Amino acid sequence: MLSPERFLSDLHALRQFGAQGTGVVRPAYSDPDIEARDWLAQRMSAAGLTPRFDAMGNLFGLAEGPSLLLGSHSDSQPAGGWLDGALGVVAALEVARAARETGGPAISVVSFQDEEGRFGVTTGSAVWSGGLSLVEADALRDHNGVLLSDARHAFGERVGGEVDPAQFTGFIELHIEQGPTLDACDEQIGVVCDIVGIRDRVVTLRGQQNHAGTTPMALRRDAFQGLSAFNTALNDRLRNVVTRQSVWTIGHVSISPNASSIVPGEVRFSMQWRDGDAARLDRMQQVIEAVLSEIVQDMGLEVELGPLLGLDPVAMDPRLRARLEAGAEAVAPGKWRMMPSGALHDATNVARRMPVAMLFVPSINGISHAFEEDTREADLVAGLRVLAHAAGVQG
Ligand code: HGY
Ligand code: MN
Ligand code: MN
């Protein structure tokens, strides 16, 4: 039988790996991430599933024969919440376990690796689904310059054979909403219609490192001033291109040499933008590149653009979505809605190989990618029940 108590107990057990305050620090390939995956592999075995790590460190708990795949990711942001990804993995485990106990359908479980993009954009599921080759992935570096090919060796002898996507009939991912809609409307379930697209690249501006006391303002080639001017101009120039759903973020900045008395010679920053319309993502890219080239010309700087990473928007499979809608109506009548996902998810990559669908539960005050991230217990359990319903497992 589906057990909300066992599900919540596992969810809190996973929370202990990399726990920091109310949140978790469990980035992909860190010690807590690997320890958490070892623990999950044991729980999969105990549930009668066969655990298997692939070369990227994606962890599968496999049922025999063709099966429905459920899951999400168990790595976290560098300062992340306890439910982002973990909820979908542990709920999948509970549904698979209940299915075996009740003689239900074959359900497999996955925890994808590096969903949070230490090295790229949903790197583990991108490689597994064939969107990115392992050779290309291995050349990616994190913000500290660590190569993915080095980081993934931490899995050592755990790595088994590759897991063939053809054995799965579909994929369903339960996740927290990570935005304000369900919480503000006092609703319990969101059935996802589409996942937005994303573009992400590292930009480097180079000027001239110099003395901060003696270099006249007019003669400076200050890389940070370049970033500051770029940001202001970009917010203005994007106005005619974007909608209320478009977002763009400079989330990581590294200034060199980062000292009070030195005019910065170099600044490296992440430039990320997201939208539900692939054509608009392209237009935003054109504006970003145009503004950058104007700024570097005006300010005597040089610009280097890193590789453009990204994923296009994806629609959910209507048949799986209908199963989630029926589950939502059974578990939370009148308290659910259809909605797009503004966050990115592994389901986007998995959609290359099989039908996919997603459901959300509310995030209190819409907060996520922060230690304060939380969801009411009744909503976590409602999400579990809708997932089980859609998977055809007794609730
Ligand atoms: O950034 C995202 O949308 C996801 O949480 N990786
Ligand atoms: Mn997530
Ligand atoms: Mn996340």
Divide the 395 residues of the chain into consecutive groups of 10 and give the mean pLDDT of each group: 97 98 98 98 98 98 98 98 98 98 98 97 97 97 96 95 97 98 98 98 98 98 98 97 97 98 98 98 98 98 96 97 98 98 97 98 98 98 98 91
Pocket test for ligand 1, best of 118, 252, 369, 373 (most atoms within 8 A of CB): 369
| Gap from CA of 84 to ligand 2 centroid (Å) | 4
Per-residue pLDDT tens over the stretch 130-155? 999 999 999 999 999 999 999 999 99
End-to-end CA distance of the chain: 7
Residues within 5 A (CB) of ion ligand 2: 84-85
* Residue 233 near ligand 1, beta carbon < 6 Å: no
For CA atoms 339, 392, 379, 329, give the dihedral sign.
positive
* pLDDT score for 382: 98
Per-residue pLDDT tens over the stretch 22-80? 999 999 999 999 999 999 999 999 999 999 999 999 999 999 999 999 999 999 999 99
13 three-class SS: helix
* Residue 343 near ligand 1, beta carbon < 6 Å: yes
User: In Å, what is the CA distance from 128 to each residue of 26, 70, 141, 385?
Assistant: 21, 15, 19, 28
275 φ, ψ to 5°?
-165, 160
Residue 198 token pair = 């994303």
* pLDDT score for 394: 84
Number of other CB atoms surrounding residue 243 within 10 Å: 9
| Gap from CA of 84 to ligand 1 centroid (Å) | 9
Q: Cis bond leading into 257, ω under 30°? A: yes
Closest Cα to residue 252, out of 380, 30, 104, 77? 77
Strand partners for 268:
204, 254
Contact 26, 18 (CB under 8 A): yes
Greatest alpha-carbon span in the chain: 78
Ligand 1 atom 4, closest CA: 344
* pLDDT score for 256: 98
Scanning the structure block, which residue is given the tokens 């669908």? 357
Number of other CB atoms surrounding residue 219 within 10 Å: 11
**Index of the ligand 1 atom closest to the CA of residue 116:** 6
* pLDDT score for 381: 98
Who's near 135: CB < 8 A, 6+ residues apart? none
* pLDDT score for 395: 78
Number of other CB atoms surrounding residue 160 within 10 Å: 13
| Gap from CA of 343 to ligand 1 centroid (Å) | 5
C-alpha–C-alpha distance, residues 272 and 258, integer Å: 23
| Gap from CA of 159 to ligand 3 centroid (Å) | 25
**Index of the ligand 1 atom closest to the CA of residue 122:** 6
